[in-house]
Amino acid sequence: MDRKKNRVIVLMAVLAAGAIYNIAHGLRTGQIYGKSNWIALADDPERFWNNVIGNAVAVVAFVAMLWLLRFRSRE
């Protein structure tokens, strides 16, 4: 595997880890980082849960990309 592909894999793993952290922090504290600021569950529950779901979708997408990159590199 070349260096460029390794950098992409590391970047995808870091983005997935950041999204997982954001979900865990949000569920623990009731605040999650949205597009530009912290969103508290008590202030806007719908927007809070939309961001939690958005981060969960991002984790799935990042893991799928990692899997595809690894799968394609074996061929």
Going by their DSSP bridges, the two strands 38-40 and 31-33 should be labelled as antiparallel
Mean pLDDT of the region 8-30:
88
Report residue 16 as tokens: 């997935």
The pLDDT score that the predictor gives to residue 71 is 74
pLDDT in tens, 20-61: 998 999 889 988 887 778 888 888 899 889 989 999 999 999
Check residue 32 and report its DSSP letter: E
The whole-number pLDDT of residue 53 equals 93
Q: Which residue has the higher pLDDT, 6 or 64?
A: 64
Tokens of 53: 């779901």
pLDDT at 9: 82
Domain ranges, ordered by start, for the chain: 1-43
Per DSSP, which regions of 6-75 are E strands? 31-33, 38-40
